[in-house]
Structure 1
Amino acid sequence: MNEGEMADAAGTMRVGCAGWSLPSAHAAEFGPGGSALQRYSTRFSMVEVNSSFYRQHKPETYARWAQSVPADFRFCVKIPRAISHEHALVATAPLLDAFLCGAERLGDRLGVLLLQPPPSAAYDGRVASAFFRALRRRSNAAIACEPRHASWFTAQADAMLAGQGVARVAADPARYPLAGEPGGTRDWSYWRWHGRPCMYYSAYEEGDLKTLAGRCRESAKAGPAWIILDNTAHGHAVGNALRLQGILMQTDPTHRRPD
């Protein structure tokens, strides 16, 4: 596998949530396990670790998580805000080393590193490309980026991301027209749906999930698609992810979920 290349085959679609908290309303839909993560991994094949954005986890914590899930399970780990917000991607080598000292303990279950710059962070090609090169030197994980400033949605920024092998997140709600579509490298795609109309709180309707399924199916023709439901505030992410998984499996029996 080349640096940053997705190990999943083209056509693969993984569905998961931001975190592995299981609402009681859906608890019966998961298999047994000694922890919430173990139970979560009986139905989903990926999860996004958002807590790493706010605090540093011990290497032993990542190692324990890796040992709790099946071999085919994958984690996406969010890059700390100290790197993306406080240091604005500049002079971050020591912070990257400290972060990756833990995250890399996931071993081959580490699938993606997610960078989410603040909405105020305008595109600076020199800074961004230098950061991604530094990250590439330290990790073979694939990289996704969810920019939130209009200046990132240009041909120049997209070309830089593609050249670095970085997938630009397809987000919902989309702040700008292109923000709702995958960008950067087209070898794979990463979708983050945050809830609409109220971000993090609203549940998606059946029609929304069917639309997402169709768009992801089309995107997966070019490479694997990873899909995260982030409307976690009222526990809707799990229900929406389970339903999306069901929709995908109705028409695509190769959709990736744990056996």
Structure 2
Amino acid sequence: MNAQRFYVGCAGWSLGREHLLAFPTQGTHLQRYAAILGSVEINSSFYRPHRRQTYARWADSVPADFRFCVKMPKLISHVRRLQHCEQELDDFLGQCLGLGDRLGCLLLQLPPSLAFAEPLADAFFVALRQRFFGEVVLEPRHESWTDAEPLLVRHRIAQAVVDPSRISTDSTPRGWQGVKYWRLHGSPRIYYSAYEQHWLENLAHTFKATAEGQATWCMFDNTASGAALGNALTLAASLHGEA
């Protein structure tokens, strides 16, 4: 697709029964998923660590142009609240870097109660950037993070576009513009509702019109009722001119 790089996928690679015909019948769920969709968001890393060998096995299961986004552990974001977590960063990165060049970006989702404090955030991002030079996406959920734009740009941190919106600046790409990341949780019923086809087609048009060579991600997290997979297939088809 010339210089444009679109990564469409789901939070996890579960294959719902209603969409099985869209995927090959052979292979693991990840192999079958990766044969059709080009990316996935690993959410399980938020709850528990995975061995480096597990990440390496996942990387070996997918095509060369497939990319993973890995969600950072809640131990860092919700328990440590970005403070005094250098060892946790080392442990996490030592694990997920097993993905090698299949690692597309890291996702840091913050708790709604974590307000923006520039010295704290700056110290965390310095520690992160001392260890990891790839793409990082932030999903803040406290309104005070609307003041974080200069800091995010300085540390090359993209702010995710989120639906349903959580704060007043998450309806358009913010922060560093080297990567753009949509995280769609389903609306009006979060985690459950499917997005309508015309809405997804309009979103595909937006992606095509605004992409400037940087990676554009769209991850569907409306997985509770299986809507995510169908939405990802529809959007991917629209981006490839098949819808």
* TM-score past 0.5 threshold: yes
Instruction: Give the deviation of 1:92 after TM superposition.
Output: 0.4
203-212 vs 217-226, which moves further? 217-226
| Mapped contact 2:143–2:168 kept (Cα < 8 A) | no
Give RMSD over aligned pairs. 1.7
The answer to whether residue 177 in structure 2 is matched with residue 186 in structure 1 is yes
Work out the CA distance in 1 between the residues paired with 2:5 and 2:192.
28
The answer to whether residue 75 in structure 2 is matched with residue 72 in structure 1 is no
Work out the CA distance in 1 between the residues paired with 2:149 and 2:26.
42
Match of 1:153 among 146, 157, 167: 146
The answer to whether residue 104 in structure 2 is matched with residue 138 in structure 1 is no
Work out the CA distance in 1 between the residues paired with 2:168 and 2:88.
33
| Mapped contact 2:106–2:136 kept (Cα < 8 A) | yes
Name the structure, 1 or 2, with higher relative contact order (CA <8 Å, separation 6+): 1
Work out the CA distance in 2 between the residues paired with 1:222 and 1:162.
18
Instruction: Give the deviation of 1:24 after TM superposition.
Output: 0.9
Name the counterpart of 1:233: 224
Q: SS in structure 1 opposite 2:158?
A: strand
The answer to whether residue 201 in structure 2 is matched with residue 207 in structure 1 is no
| Mapped contact 2:5–2:213 kept (Cα < 8 A) | no
Gap regions ≥5 residues in structure 2: none
| Mapped contact 1:9–1:223 kept (Cα < 8 A) | no
169-178 vs 19-28, which moves further? 169-178
Work out the CA distance in 1 between the residues paired with 2:84 and 2:191.
32
Work out the CA distance in 2 between the residues paired with 1:167 and 1:121.
18
| Mapped contact 1:37–1:68 kept (Cα < 8 A) | yes
Runs of 4+ in 1 over 3 A off after TM superposition: none
Work out the CA distance in 1 between the residues paired with 2:6 and 2:73.
26
Match of 2:78 among 61, 85, 89: 85
Question: Matched residues, percent identical?
Answer: 48
Aligned length: 243
Match of 1:94 among 61, 71, 87: 87
Instruction: Give the deviation of 1:222 after TM superposition.
Output: 5.7
Work out the CA distance in 1 between the residues paired with 2:239 and 2:160.
20
CA distance change for structure 1 residues 40 and 129 in 2, over 3 Å: closer, same or farther?
Answer: same
The answer to whether residue 168 in structure 2 is matched with residue 177 in structure 1 is yes
Matched letter for residue 189 of structure 1? K
| Mapped contact 1:219–1:225 kept (Cα < 8 A) | no
Gap regions ≥5 residues in structure 1: 1-7, 253-259
The answer to whether residue 234 in structure 2 is matched with residue 246 in structure 1 is no
TM-score normalised by structure 2 residue count: 0.95
Work out the CA distance in 2 between the residues paired with 1:126 and 1:9.
41
| Mapped contact 1:168–1:185 kept (Cα < 8 A) | yes
